[in-house]
Amino acid sequence: MIPDTIRTWQMTEPGRLQRTDIPRPELRPGEVLVEIRGCGVCHTDLSYFYDGVPTVDKPPMTLGHEIAGVVVAGDQSGLIGAEVIIPAVLPCNDCDICRADRGNRCLKQRMPGNSMGIWGGFASHIPVPARDLCRVPPGRPQPLEHLAVVADAIATPFHAAKRAGLQPGDRVVVIGAAGGVGSFMTQIAKGLGARAVVAIDLNEEKLELMRGYGADFTINPRGRSAREVKDLIKDWCKTQGLPANYGWKIFEVTGSKAGQELALALLSFVGRLIVVGYGTAETQYMLSKLMAFEADMIGVWGCRPADYPEVLGMCLDGRIALGPFVETRPMSQIGQVFDEAHHGRLKKRVVLTPDF
């Protein structure tokens, strides 16, 4: 049954959530209405809610951009009833950037919970363009709501790996390797064939878990200088017969000043630094080192919708595990979950399921 109203948890202003019912909109040509089965809680949502990071469209609005659900209405008859993942970044598909296969950074892009007006994932339904939806095949072991995290927490590090040119046999460092995005970055690196994955994180318990999910060597940098971290990597490389001072692909996932500074310190000859995490702190670096090292720095933003089937495939074939890293909670607990996430008390990526 298609509802007359859409139930939402709206951010009326930074720091404030309110239950609100909104009249169901008239769908435009090419749009469908998706009944939301789960929406993941992302650090980006917390940045909007707690830190005053501005959204493109202003509150009141519904946050949430990691969405999985079922198509229930629209002019795309072949999609009605389909289980889908909504890409976190929806490009216009008609500009120079899109035509250059860089649509994830389309300047006209729309993003649920940021630049789609009032619409976001912490709701019962959402109207979206049908063109870039990723269909989820039936008969899989993963519940649909768990696959919501594919939309960002998995798709973004996958895109980062592609931007890095990650190849089988590569050596990788992941800074923030046990977090909500970093845990998937670690799995993706190993799943794409990395020879060595060094996982760096402050959470010892989560680091221990990552030893079974892609990390070949782990380091807790707490109380250690960048030089000491480099020495630990060097010593481990000796035991593995690996070169330590060149060719590493370093993924900085934390967005923190400390994480970025460590990443820059680890960057060396013909290495590549990929900036995945978002933060507001400024970091200093002598750019001439890039010349001397012939190294690269690369920023990443979201993921092309065209790549989602491959990302989803890594989850379905077991190269990316979801169960140990994802939990579901009812959407009525959104305030509590935001608070726990903001204070670093969550052990898993939380997906909120509508219980209006």
Mean pLDDT rounded to a whole number for the chain: 97
Q: How confident is the model at residue 301 (pLDDT cuts 50, 70, 90)?
A: very high
Question: Letter for the amino acid at 56?
Answer: V
Mean pLDDT of 192-219: 97
> pLDDT tens-digit profile of 57-66?
999 999 999 9
Closest CA to 67 of 1, 120, 139: 120
The model's pTM is: 0.96
DSSP 3-state of 17 = strand
* Alpha-helix runs per DSSP H in 247-347: 257-266, 288-293, 308-316, 334-342
Residue 222: Cβ-neighbour burial (10 angstroms; 0-12, 13-18, 19+): exposed
Mind giving me the DSSP string for 154-220?
A: THHHHHHHHHTT--TT-EEEEETTTSTTHHHHHHHHHHTT-SEEEEE-S-HHHHHHHTTTT-SEEE-
Q: How confident is the model at residue 182 (pLDDT cuts 50, 70, 90)?
A: very high
Closest CA to 126 of 69, 205, 199, 50: 69
Residues contacting residue 313 through CB under 8 Å, at least 6 positions apart: none
d(CA 37, CA 34): 9
Annotated domain spans of the chain: 5-152+303-353, 155-299
Residues contacting residue 286 through CB under 8 Å, at least 6 positions apart: none
β-strands 83-86, 66-74 pairing: antiparallel
d(CA 329, CA 354): 9
β-strands 196-200, 171-175 pairing: parallel
- Report whether pLDDT(348) > 90: yes
> pLDDT tens-digit profile of 153-170?
999 999 999 999 999 999
Q: Three-state secondary structure along 105-135?
A: HCCCCECCCCCCCCCCCCECEEEEECCCCEE
Residue-level pLDDT at 69: 98
Q: How confident is the model at residue 279 (pLDDT cuts 50, 70, 90)?
A: confident
Closest CA to 326 of 33, 22, 39, 32: 39
Rounded to the nearest 10 degrees, how much is the dihedral formed by the CA atoms of 72, 76, 81, 82?
-120
CATH domain 155-299 topology: Rossmann fold (3.40.50)
Residue-level pLDDT at 304: 97
d(CA 356, CA 179): 29
Mean pLDDT of 118-125: 98
Residue-level pLDDT at 351: 98
Residue-level pLDDT at 134: 98
Q: How confident is the model at residue 280 (pLDDT cuts 50, 70, 90)?
A: confident
DSSP 3-state of 166 = coil
Residue-level pLDDT at 195: 98
Q: How confident is the model at residue 2 (pLDDT cuts 50, 70, 90)?
A: confident
Could you tell me the CA-to-CA distances from 291 to 249, 271, 294, 296, 300 in Å, in that order?
Answer: 17, 11, 5, 9, 21
Residue-level pLDDT at 120: 98
Mean pLDDT of 46-68: 96
- Report whether pLDDT(289) > 80: yes
Question: Letter for the amino acid at 293?
Answer: F
- Report whether pLDDT(1) > 80: no
Question: Letter for the amino acid at 75?
Answer: D
Mean pLDDT of 189-195: 98
Mean pLDDT of 4-18: 97
- Report whether pLDDT(337) > 90: yes
- Residue 54: count of CB within 10 angstroms of its CB: 11
d(CA 33, CA 71): 6
Superfamily of domain 5-152+303-353: Medium-chain alcohol dehydrogenases, catalytic domain (3.90.180.10)
